[in-house]
């Protein structure tokens, strides 16, 4: 693994925490209602105070996760145990992929022909204990790219967790991105069939910087929150409006900041490294169990100069993992 910045912590500004005094009411059925878009297009039922509640910037102590992971290894831990303890882990994972396809309608791509095997190998051999009984590993034929020359030239500069808490929230969030009714029905049926065969279902994100030309990432890296330091009182259920192709709201989770939270990042990531983190977790026998996922956000690395020219390019590959 790359040797990088040796500083144990840096202080960084992170956007999008919910104001500490915010409380959702019966007016919105206990949910925060968020909106991204032109003010005059705001849905009438979305209160302005809900929108304003996330216009925050908070100073956060950012912990060097390279040091934390190295210490875990020195004390006899491995990749799988670190991933289980914290909800994220860094992998050395060089790839043979040349074309990071963004078109989900294409099936004969480097993602399906190359990346699927690389990712499945990491899941089976590094991320879970030996003997884990997988029933399905589901991957898409494309990745979500961010940065210049991508379909998403912006960065997610705000604390969030993508799929909310329950399995119905997950289905609703996913369906909000599927405009075709027949395709959506087929997707939901496939999910139900696979859920019937498993005890645990999770979505894992493989996040990788690309096109660094042998360099290291400094511009808009990703930070993740150690899932073991999340207080349930700080989690806020949120409907996000204005971001999906169907026009439907996406259920997500937002967060209030607490000084006990341990925010982490891996300084100077290379394109041979992948940050893996849990985006959704559901266990049939314990659907309301301890929170397992990682809140996350892009942020400005305070080491980056004002006139820096690097513009992050990255890929997100979200994988459904079903375990018996």
pLDDT tens digits, residue range 183-224?
A: 999 999 999 999 999 999 999 999 999 999 889 999 999 999
- The string of pLDDT tens digits covering residues 63-113 is 999 999 999 999 999 999 999 999 999 999 999 999 999 999 999 999 999
What local confidence, expressed as pLDDT, does residue 306 receive?
Answer: 78
pLDDT of residue 4: 54
**What pLDDT, on a 0 to 100 scale, did the predictor assign at position 253?**
97
Contacts of 10 (CB under 8 A, 6+ apart): 61, 62, 64, 301, 302, 303
Q: What is the pLDDT of residue 5?
A: 65
Positions of the chain with pLDDT lower than 70, given as ranges: 1-5
pLDDT at residue number 277 = 98
pLDDT value, residue 145: 97
* DSSP states of 2-44: ------SEEEEEEE-PBPTT----GGGTT-EEEE-S-GGG--T
- Cβ contact 33:234 at 8 Å: no
Residue 3's pLDDT is: 46
Beta-strand pair 200-209/314-323: antiparallel
What is the per-residue pLDDT for 309? 84
Distances (CA, A) of 70 to 2, 17, 229, 261: 11, 29, 19, 20
């Amino acid at each position: 693994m790359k040797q990088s910045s040796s500083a144990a912590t840096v202080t960084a500004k992170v956007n999008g925490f919910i104001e500490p005094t915010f409380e959702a009411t019966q007016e919105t059925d206990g949910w925060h209602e968020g909106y991204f878009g032109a003010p005059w297009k705001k849905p009438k039922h979305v209160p302005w105070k809900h929108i304003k509640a996330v216009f925050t910037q908070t100073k956060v102590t950012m912990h060097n996760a390279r040091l934390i992971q190295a210490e875990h290894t020195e004390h006899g831990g491995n990749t799988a145990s670190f991933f289980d303890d914290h909800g994220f882990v860094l992998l050395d994972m060089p790839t043979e992929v040349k074309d990071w396809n963004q078109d989900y309608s294409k099936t004969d791509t480097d993602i399906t022909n190359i990346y699927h095997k690389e990712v499945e190998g990491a899941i089976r051999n590094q991320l879970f204990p030996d003997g884990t009984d997988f029933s399905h590993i589901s991957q898409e034929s494309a990745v979500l790219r961010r940065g210049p020359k991508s379909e998403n030239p912006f960065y997610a500069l705000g604390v969030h967790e993508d799929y909310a808490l329950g399995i119905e929230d997950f289905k609703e969030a996913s369906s909000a991105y599927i405009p075709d009714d027949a395709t959506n029905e087929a997707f939901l049926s496939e999910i139900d069939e696979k859920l019937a065969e498993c005890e645990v279902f999770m979505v894992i994100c493989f996040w990788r910087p690309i096109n660094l030309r042998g360099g290291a990432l400094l511009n808009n890296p990703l930070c993740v929150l150690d899932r073991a330091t999340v207080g349930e009182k700080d989690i806020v259920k949120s409907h996000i409006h204005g971001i999906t192709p169907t026009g439907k709201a996406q259920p997500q989770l937002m967060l209030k900041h607490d000084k006990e939270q341990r925010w982490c990042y891996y300084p100077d990531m290379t394109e041979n490294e992948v940050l893996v983190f849990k985006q959704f977790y559901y266990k049939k026998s314990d659907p309301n169990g301890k929170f397992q996922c990682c809140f996350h956000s892009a942020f400005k690395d305070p080491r980056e100069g004002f006139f820096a020219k690097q513009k992050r390019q990255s890929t997100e590959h979200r994988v459904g993992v079903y375990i018996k």
